[in-house]
Structure 1
Amino acid sequence: MSTPTVHRHGPDGLEEAEAAARALRHVKKYLAEHEGEDMITATAEGGEKEELLLPRGAVELLATVLAHMAAGRAVSVVPAHAELTTQQAADLLNVSRPFLIGLLNSGEIEYRTVGTHRRVRAESLLDYRRRDDQARREAADELTALNQEMGLI
């Protein structure tokens, strides 16, 4: 399987972030007004009006991308079934490549080898991130409970 391109885009300045915020308001309003619809009709305006039929999931994903861009954050889009290089996987987790290699070697994240190279499924990476986030939340809750027991809060 060939290594997919990781599509990464962030707003190029304040003007693009503001445009994303305006578009997000329209998309959210449309989704709220058409709650039961599985397919969304978008109209492109230009010389001629052209209608485009989109799956609701794609429009909801667009709303998520717009929200991040409006906040000034870059967004990466990777298919869930994609196999990533160790560098791409490290970049998506925002960790160093050596740290990621440690996670792979310890069995925290599933991977396969292609020749001498490791390939990480994006799905495995997201599973690890979910488990890690859950563990962090539980640790924070435990610390909060201990602080309350000790009367520090």
Structure 2
Amino acid sequence: MTETLNERTLLPQHLEQLAEVRRFLETAPESSGVAVLRSAEGEVVALPAELVEGLRLVALALSEGKAVTVAPLHTTLTTQEAAELLGMSRPTLVKLLDTGEIPFTRPGRHRRVLLTDVLAFREYRRAERTAGLSELTRISEDLGLYDDDPAEPLRRHD
């Protein structure tokens, strides 16, 4: 059976079975060897680690009642595809490329970006935001801004 690789959204339908699969995938030790898939006819195939991780993430989301969209991505993206993945405009992405924040190639007239570079940039930005929020929280705590009694209304000083 050959299927065209298109985006597809999966909706949670069998919550009890999904919860069972989720528990199994979360409790199975990662070093327990090779995960396998067995057909009804008894044929067995080994599953690579990235597929097991994908199944774990899908089972987690579906068991929580969330929908999951599976979409194939090329390993080399256009600037528009990379911008959409990062949730920004194409001109903003092009500025990041031109300043060297994300590497790219230009095999012809158009820029191409490696998916791994886009994902690494996304993780870097997430870590940067998390560190910034932690620093803001620390400063607020140092200034005693969390010590205020919320039961007391703030008074304006005119």
Root mean square deviation, CA, Å: 2.8
Change (3 A) 1:67 1:127: same
Per-residue CA deviations over 1:104-131 (Å, capped at 9, x if unaligned) read 1121111011211000011111221121
Change (3 A) 1:40 1:140: same
Per-residue deviation, 1:26: 1.6
In 1, Cα distance between the equivalents of 2:30 and 2:46? 16
Match of 2:24 among 1, 4, 29: 29
Q: Is the contact made by 1:38 and 1:55 (CA closer than 8 Å) also made in structure 2?
A: no
Match of 2:113 among 107, 113, 120: 120
Q: What is the 5 A alignment of 1:28-67?
A: 28-29=23-24, 32-33=27-28, 35-45=30-40, 48-67=41-60
Match of 2:67 among 56, 64, 72: 72
Unaligned runs of 5+ in 1: 1-5
Per-residue deviation, 1:148: 0.7
Identity %: 29
Aligned: 1:108 with 2:101: yes
Q: Is the contact made by 1:20 and 1:66 (CA closer than 8 Å) also made in structure 2?
A: no
Unaligned runs of 5+ in 2: 147-158
**Greater length-normalized contact order (CA 8 Å, ≥ 6 residues apart):** 1
Change (3 A) 1:33 1:125: closer
Per-residue deviation, 1:30: 5.2
Q: TM-score, normalised by structure 1?
A: 0.74
In 2, Cα distance between the equivalents of 1:137 and 1:99? 22
Aligned residue for 1:10?
9
Change (3 A) 1:58 1:38: farther
Aligned residue for 1:134?
127
What amino acid sits opposite 1:123 in the alignment? Answer: T
Structure having the larger proportion of residues in strand: 1
In 2, Cα distance between the equivalents of 1:122 and 1:86? 11
For the pair shown, the structure with the greater C-alpha radius of gyration is 2
Q: TM-score, normalised by structure 2?
A: 0.72
